[in-house]
Amino acid sequence: MRLRYYLLKVIVFILPINVFAQSTFITEGTKEYHFVDRLEIKNQDFTNFNFSAIKPYSRKSIVDEATFFDTSHAFHLSKVDQYQLKSLFMNNKEWYSNTDSFFYNKKPLLQNFYITKSNLFEVNQKDFFLVVNPVIGIEYGKENNTNKKLFLHSRGVTIRGIIANKIGFAASITDNQERGPSYFQQQIATYKAVPGVGFYKDYKDDPTANDYFDARGYFTFNFTKYINFQIGHDKNFIGDGYRSLFLSDCGNSYLFTKINTKIWKLNYQNLFMELMPQFSKKGDSLISRKYAAIHHLSMNVTKWLNIGLFEGIVFGRKDHFDFQYLNPIIFYRHIEGSVGSPDNALAGMDFKANALHRFQFYGQFLLDEFILSRIKDEPTNWANKYGFQLGAKYIDVLGVKNLDLQLEWNRVRPFTYTHSDSISNYTHYNQPLAHPLGANFNEIISIVNYQPYPKLNIDAKLIFYTKGMDSVNTNFGGNIFKDYTTRSGENDFYIGSGDKATCINASLNVAYEIIQNTYLECGIQYRNYKLQTQSDPNNSTSINIGLRMNLNRRVYDY
């Protein structure tokens, strides 16, 4: 019996007659996210912004907060920020009451086509709001070590709407054909899944190119003014960094139910997920299921400081959900023990602090297994499974408007996210649920974002990491799909143990927004990957040029 059957019964039982106004969510990775970061840091003291670790963002909440910022006139906005603010309001017009000529086309097509500059088709009536937009992506590139061209072709549609100001819905579907860089192709061949998507088929019988759909959608409504309910098939993210050690969007979408409670200085999220354990086959055969439950509680301790608690548990029952884990109260460890402690439990803390209207400091600490005596007496013991993240954002660097810098350090010990069986590890559809590198790694990320003009964006990224890889017949804890029972011993496990890999991944991308949400862009990427046991590194240099509409940029940053 599938999780969706049980969730349907729960919804029918608890759905109230009077549902409060609700909001759909801004797709993660769009231009609004970087702009919201800037507003949050600039304002510093507006506490509603401090709940931004929970992604994706509610459209209504972000518009409300941006409106507060716009009307407070506390800080001067640059021309670029003013453009981004108007663009945010335009792309979320259902929650912005003021009229602005900037939004509208002078000559709309027919009655509902291109009324505003951001939407192809729009209906805005008393009890019904609907937006339909096309998705188009055309990209071509060249890699130094192959004669085959790189390409990405995407086409599809996105839909969002509100019914009677009570029920919100959103959906997107894209049909994609892709040949990425050689290391991206190797990732697919190894794990039988397209990074960030999942299921695929060979494109025109060519194993170096892939053909796949990406379909997502959800319904959402509010129980009360403070409690939002969402059910759908999509991704979620918990954290303030470029990566997350708790829950990331780097993998495939999944079926989930989410309850988010926001009241006073607290934000509390319950997330119940139906996942797929790792598999070796590829095709149209049925894949088994596993399940996860996640809680995240955050509190605004001061106007500029937010602290959160995280816990998650992955459990395998033969294709059915364990109702013990529907308990909405945080701290699952007691429940896990009451059912015989067969499951994989994780816990963690995170923080975010804004300072001087220019800086933001953030971090996460993840604990998979922790025994204090071992940390003290056996620091290299395999059971010391934990990781941490530290990061900082600096906006308007040295007074240069819209020049922003982000630095991040991620470090995860061997065997973190693993379990004693192949079902309960912290993965979904042959991909990690958290950091794309899995475990046994040390990573440093530097990101520079510069927007000298409203429609021109320059993005530079440098990633350096070391990771311990397995040697022949020896599990050193870097592959989170392997059972930790296959380890070679009890001690002498440290970050980088095994066949040490060193990687530098650098990229530069320039994008110009031709019209709203339509970009012409070009980029260059360099990756140097070397194993300690190999004399020659695996180098990849690629260049690309493309056009995309209502579509996030595809990245190969691992």
Q: Beta partners for 198?
A: 194
The per-residue pLDDT for 6 is 46
Peptide bond into 134 cis (omega under 30): no
Residue 418 main-chain phi, psi, to 5 deg: -90, 170
The per-residue pLDDT for 197 is 93
* Average pLDDT estimate for 393-412: 97
Q: Is residue 554 part of a domain?
A: no
* Average pLDDT estimate for 414-426: 91
pTM for the model: 0.92
The per-residue pLDDT for 3 is 47
Burial 263-294, CB ≥16 within 10 A → b, else e: eeeebbbbbbbbbbbbeeeeeeeeeebbbbbb
Q: Is residue 193 part of a domain?
A: yes
HEC profile of 81-146: HHHHHHHHHHHCHHHCCCCCHHHECCCCECCCECCECCCCEEEECCCEEEEEEEEEEEEEEEECCC
CB 350 within 8 A of CB 308: yes
- Tokens 């530290």 — which residue? 390
10 — pLDDT class (breaks 50, 70, 90) = very low
CB 476 within 8 A of CB 447: no
471 — pLDDT class (breaks 50, 70, 90) = confident
The per-residue pLDDT for 16 is 45
CB 416 within 8 A of CB 246: no
Q: Is residue 62 part of a domain?
A: yes
CATH number, domain containing residue 372: 2.40.160.130
Q: Is residue 187 part of a domain?
A: yes
The per-residue pLDDT for 340 is 43
HSE (side-chain half, CA atoms, 13 Å) at 32: 25
Task: Give the pair of three-digit tokens for residue 120.
Answer: 């192809």
Q: Is residue 557 part of a domain?
A: no
* Start-end of H helices in 327-402: 333-338, 372-377
HEC profile of 431-462: EECCCCCCCCEEEEEEEEEEEEECCEEEEEEE
Flag whether pLDDT at 15 surpasses 60: no
Single-letter amino acid code for the residue at 276: M
The per-residue pLDDT for 12 is 41
1 — pLDDT class (breaks 50, 70, 90) = very low
CA distance 336 to 331: 10
* Average pLDDT estimate for 427-452: 97
86 CB burial (10 A radius; 0-12, 13-18, 19+):
middle
Q: Is residue 28 part of a domain?
A: yes
Instruction: Kindly give, in sequence order, each residue whose CB lies less than 8 Å from that of residue 27, ignoring residues fewer than 6 positions away.
Output: 56, 158, 172, 552
Q: Is residue 312 part of a domain?
A: yes
448 — pLDDT class (breaks 50, 70, 90) = very high
Share of the chain above pLDDT 70, in %: 87
- Summarised one tens digit per residue, pLDDT across range 510-527 is 999 999 999 999 999 999
Q: Which helix (H) or strand (E) holds 267?
A: strand 266-275
Single-letter amino acid code for the residue at 411: R
Q: Is residue 556 part of a domain?
A: no
Q: Tally Cβ neighbours within 10 Å of residue 40.
A: 23
Number of structural domains, the chain? 1
- Summarised one tens digit per residue, pLDDT across range 120-155 is 999 988 899 999 999 999 999 999 988 899 999 999
CA distance 555 to 268: 31
Domain that holds residue 115: 3-549
- Summarised one tens digit per residue, pLDDT across range 34-83 is 999 999 998 877 666 667 889 999 999 899 888 887 776 556 789 999 99
Flag whether pLDDT at 318 surpasses 80: no
- Tokens 């906005």 — which residue? 77
What are the distances in angstroms from CA 428 to CA 255, 280, 355, 441, 535? 11, 13, 37, 20, 34
Q: Tally Cβ neighbours within 10 Å of residue 479.
A: 19
